[in-house]
Amino acid sequence: MVTEEDVANMSPEQLQELQKQNCIFCHIISGKVASKKIYEDDKVLAILDINPANPGHILLLTKEHYQIMPQIPDDEISHMFMVAKAISHACLKALKVQGTNIFIANGTLAGQKASHFMLHIIPRMNTDGLKIFDLPEKSIQENISEQIRAGLSNKINELFGIKTEEPIVLDRKTEKIGEKEENQKKTNKSEEKVNKDGVTKEKKSNKEGNSGIDLDEISNFIIKNEPKK
Amino acid sequence: MSQKNNCEFCQIIGKKINAKRIFEDAKVLAILNPNPCCAGHILLMPKEHFSIIEQVPDYLIAHLSKIVNKISIAVFEILQAKGTNILIQNGVAAGQKSNHFMIHIIPRKENDSLNFQWQPRQLSEEQMSTIELKLKEESKGIGEFEKEERKPVKLDSEIEKIDKEENYLIKQLNRIP
């Protein structure tokens, strides 16, 4: 039996190995657990979901065990989306449905239930009564969305290695955004003490006391260790 | 073309309508959704007008997916999101509101009042097997992807460029009396 302490002392590689052993989808991929396979190649496997949202609900899995999308290399993610497109097309033709939803839940808070990354392809009919994918509309303050725009745009350019013209000024901007956001949170939840650099918040998520491994912890870990280009 | 002229997002791409642009390259544009479901709701779309995913060429899907992944990373880090949802609404029945194909990237936080949990259905073994057979039959052809843009398309754009340059030169010549 693996204790919580053991998990805390494990290296990322050991953690991944442990998760693989406990992952039902890894067993499905290796064939230890039976499934209704729709499509298979060297990188991905598509199976029918046994608890479907609609008839023909397909799970597209990476054969390698990844927990969340940021872990997946570019070539695998692009292969996955191309297969998803083809399967969506197969759904329209084979099941005579009127549309499909392609859906990814990244992180437990986003509704991810298994620790194995997957993409859902859900056939849709006008009359199926599935309303969760009709997105609600909210009004967001102009200054908040402007902060979000500036912050995201800088970060994405950084991730693609695109140099912005005045990097120093832009860096200050992102710092400001972080602070402002946290100020907003302070007003929202007065009981939550938030540190300036957000370190305490990450620790808090550790305290949630889930036995086993928390997806969010791992996502935080990965993001921290993401090599900056 | 008429579809393109009426398309709100084609007009955003053509800068006729303002939007909060997050990322842009030759083929794609990411903006903050003007009608968001939460703060930081992002739309990623190809610049060319496609209605549904089936029309979008494979190489463009591949390109879009890489950018989705990067945006998702940025959302985790900058917005301190605890999760992200990626959603494609393919067809009106699937909740698609605009006829421009796009990918939604939705940052998730605690108590954000969003819910993408479905009620699982129970199908009989027979129903599942029928679906499996039908889908397997249609999926046989999957495996060949158009991973790169076809070359003639590239050549065309090169020729266009040259034409423009030539025109420019001719204009210059014409100006000389």
Of A101, A111, A132, Cβ closest to residue B88:
A101
Distances (CA, A) of B19 to A137, B11, B119: 17, 10, 36
Query: Are B61 and A85 a contacting pair at CB < 8 A?
Result: yes
Q: Within an 8 Å CB–CB cutoff, is residue B111 touching chain A? A: no
Distance CA A199, CA A189 (A): 17
- Give the residue from A73, A41, A85, A135 showing the smallest Cα distance to B87: A135
Quick one: pLDDT at residue B12? 93
Residue range A112-162, pLDDT digits in tens: 999 899 999 999 999 998 889 999 999 888 899 999 999 999 999 888 887
Query: Are B87 and A174 a contacting pair at CB < 8 A?
Result: no
ipTM: 0.81
Structure token digits, residue B11: 């007009």
Average pLDDT over residues B133-150: 85
- A 91-150: CB under 8 A from B: 91-95, 97-112, 122, 124-126, 128, 130, 132-138, 140, 144-146, 148-149
Q: What angle do CA B125, B131, B134 make, to 5 degrees?
A: 140
- Give the residue from A60, A56, A55 showing the smallest Cα distance to A77: A60
Query: Are B117 and A138 a contacting pair at CB < 8 A?
Result: no
Q: Within an 8 Å CB–CB cutoff, is residue B114 touching chain A? A: yes
Confidence of residue B90 (pLDDT cuts 50, 70, 90): very high
- A 175-214: CB under 8 A from B: 177-178, 181, 198, 201, 205
Q: Fill in the amino acid letter for A151.
A: G
Quick one: pLDDT at residue A26? 93
Quick one: pLDDT at residue B1? 53
Higher pLDDT, A229 or B102: B102
Chains A & B: contacts with CB separation below 8 Å = 273
Q: Within an 8 Å CB–CB cutoff, is residue B24 touching chain A? A: no
If one counts every other C-beta atom within 10 angstroms of the C-beta of residue A134, the result is 12
Residue range B36-72, pLDDT digits in tens: 999 999 999 999 999 999 999 999 999 999 999 999 9
Which parts of chain A sit beneath pLDDT 70?
Answer: 1-2, 163-229
CA-based nearest residue in chain B for residue A54: B121
- B 148-177: CB under 8 A from A: none
Confidence of residue B149 (pLDDT cuts 50, 70, 90): confident
Quick one: pLDDT at residue A204? 42
Of A97, A105, A130, Cβ closest to residue B85:
A105
Classify burial at A182, counting beta carbons within 10 Å of its beta carbon; exposed 0-12, middle 13-18, buried 19 or more. middle
